[in-house]
Amino acid sequence: MVKTAHIIGAGISGLSAAVRLSNVGFAVHVHEATQQAGGRCRSYYDAATDLVIDNGNHLMLSGNRHARAYARSIGSEAGLAGPERARFDFMDMASGERWTLDLGNGRVSTWLFDAARRVPGTGVVDYLKLAPLVWAGTAARVGDTVACKGELYRRLVHPLLLAALNVDPPDGSAGLAGAIVRETLLAGGQACRPLIAREGLSAVLVDPALALLRARGADIRFGHELRKVQAANGAVTALDFGEDTAAVAPGDVIVLAVPPRAAASIVPGLTGPVKFRAIVNAHFRHDPPADQPALMGVIGGLVEWLFAFPQRLSVTISDADRLVNAPREELARDIWRDVCKAARLGADVAEGPLPPWQIVRERRATFEATPEQHRLRPGTRTEWKNLFLAGDWTDTGLPATIEGSVRSGDRAADLALTMT
Ligand SMILES: Cc1cc2nc3c(=O)[nH]c(=O)nc-3n(C[C@H](O)[C@H](O)[C@H](O)COP(=O)(O)OP(=O)(O)OC[C@H]3O[C@@H](n4cnc5c(N)ncnc54)[C@H](O)[C@@H]3O)c2cc1C
């Protein structure tokens, strides 16, 4: 008899679990509370810029093996565009200096021994001093583990960890920072090539999954919010959506892939992170200069990362709680000045009328990747043998990332299979 998998939440973690269970023949039902799939990783039409934009610029790396396997399984891996080598362009706002960090494309970090490929002003010994992060425990803070000062910190460690942890790096979990260092810098250039969904997050990571699931007969329902569950004898027996209820037969599985607050209202006694940080993205409808790299790190600016898309320059600012209530017009102007400097658009353009723009402030973009919040992350199993948790906030061993989301969805699906 065909078994049923109920996937609650159509973010990346839910979709990856849905695809994995559908691959092995489950009849999949996806229940999503909102009218759109993708969760915190989605695209939409923006009238202000008259462009389809993403809720946030998302950077993936070639070492994100679960995320890439997910994209491959839905036929869209080619949509993750990136260079042949792991090259990252940077500019320093204070000095105007520009450089390229060239991690190459090998498995061994030979770039460390070539001054021209390293961060300017740094020596091999500076990088070796990062080693304690690699074996740091989950209770330690970055600031207690490595020295958060000097050129290497300012020009590489700070921007890398700020983007990955979404907290001021010294306050971040050294264990999570260590996972990032192990899976990126230590794994050589082959793991560090930047990958961007240039056609948009939904086109690459969401819509192909929905199409595949639908082609296999999956039932995908929007505006279908799980309110609570009924359980008996250690297993969930029914899903209560308020206006309707779905019975759960023996052998059927449920993957609860919703944010922590929603999960805690459904699973009694569940712990999860309770503190979150914002990410601000600004999008300007302006053609990037021909030589503008697809991605540029900006040191010492309001802007942290500048992305160049066709017809659009977009920026990301992490750990951005300080900006969520800033007046929008002023913020757009300040960000545009940094963009013009980084992309060499000139003072006239910087002080002239703003091009069509949009600012997207995701207030609860990610959980705070501090030791305290990390400690609250639950595993995949619950007190009910047929209900499994997924989500970037579960204990994936990574900060809140697409890779972590996919890993959690894969793990939930794999455990669900062992149950049946
Ligand atoms: C602005 C921004 C920038 C980011 N940048 C990056 C980046 O550069 N690189 C990177 O790797 N990651 C990045 N991330 C993180 C990444 O987007 C997330 O880790 C990932 O999208 C989380 O997916 P998820 O499935 O775990 O959770 P979510 O996306 O939160 O999905 C949960 C889903 O559950 C639904 N739901 C909630 N309650 C219910 C209910 N009761 N019943 C049914 N459905 C429900 C929600 O509507 C939602 O669709 C960024 C995030 C943001 C916000």
Q: What mean pLDDT value characterizes the chain?
A: 96
Indicate if ligand 1 lies below 6 Å from the C-beta of 302: no
Instruction: Tell me how far apart the alpha carbons of residues 106 and 63 are, in angstroms, rounded to a whole number.
Output: 12
pLDDT of residue 138: 85
- Cβ(105)–Cβ(193) below 8 Å: yes
Cα 205 to averaged position of ligand 1 atoms, centre (Å): 12
Q: Which residue is closest in CA terms to ligand 1's atom 51?
A: 365
- Count CA atoms closer than 13 A to 329's CA, side-chain side: 1
Find the mean pLDDT for residues 218-222: 98
Cα 34 to averaged position of ligand 1 atoms, centre (Å): 12
- Count CA atoms closer than 13 A to 27's CA, side-chain side: 9
DSSP 395: S
Phi/psi at 339 (5° precision): -60, -45
Instruction: Tell me how far apart the alpha carbons of residues 406 and 39 are, in angstroms, rounded to a whole number.
Output: 13
- Calculate the alpha carbon distances from 270 to 176, 257, 267, 379 in Å: 22, 14, 6, 10
- State which ligand 1 atom lies nearest to the alpha carbon of 265: 41
Q: Is the pTM of this model over 0.85?
A: yes
Asked if residue 188 has pLDDT above 70, the reply is yes
pLDDT of residue 2: 85
Indicate if ligand 1 lies below 6 Å from the C-beta of 392: yes
Cα 405 to averaged position of ligand 1 atoms, centre (Å): 8
Tens of pLDDT, residue by residue over 301-341, are 999 999 999 999 999 999 999 999 999 999 999 999 999 99
Indicate if ligand 1 lies below 6 Å from the C-beta of 226: yes
Indicate if ligand 1 lies below 6 Å from the C-beta of 218: no
Asked if residue 268 has pLDDT above 60, the reply is yes
Asked if residue 395 has pLDDT above 60, the reply is yes
Indicate if ligand 1 lies below 6 Å from the C-beta of 15: no
pLDDT of residue 216: 97
pLDDT of residue 420: 57
pLDDT of residue 16: 98
pLDDT of residue 109: 86
Of the candidate ranges 75-79, 134-138, 394-398, the one whose mean pLDDT is the lowest = 134-138
The residue to mutate among 30, 40, 192, 239, having the most atoms of ligand 1 within 8 angstroms of its beta carbon, is: 40
pLDDT of residue 1: 76
Phi/psi at 275 (5° precision): -120, 140
Instruction: Tell me how far apart the alpha carbons of residues 404 and 391 are, in angstroms, rounded to a whole number.
Output: 8
Using DSSP's 3-state secondary structure scheme, residue 183 falls into: helix
DSSP 61: E
Cα 11 to averaged position of ligand 1 atoms, centre (Å): 5
Instruction: Tell me how far apart the alpha carbons of residues 54 and 319 are, in angstroms, rounded to a whole number.
Output: 18
Tell me the H-state helices in 249-383: 260-266, 328-342, 347-351, 371-375
pLDDT of residue 419: 82
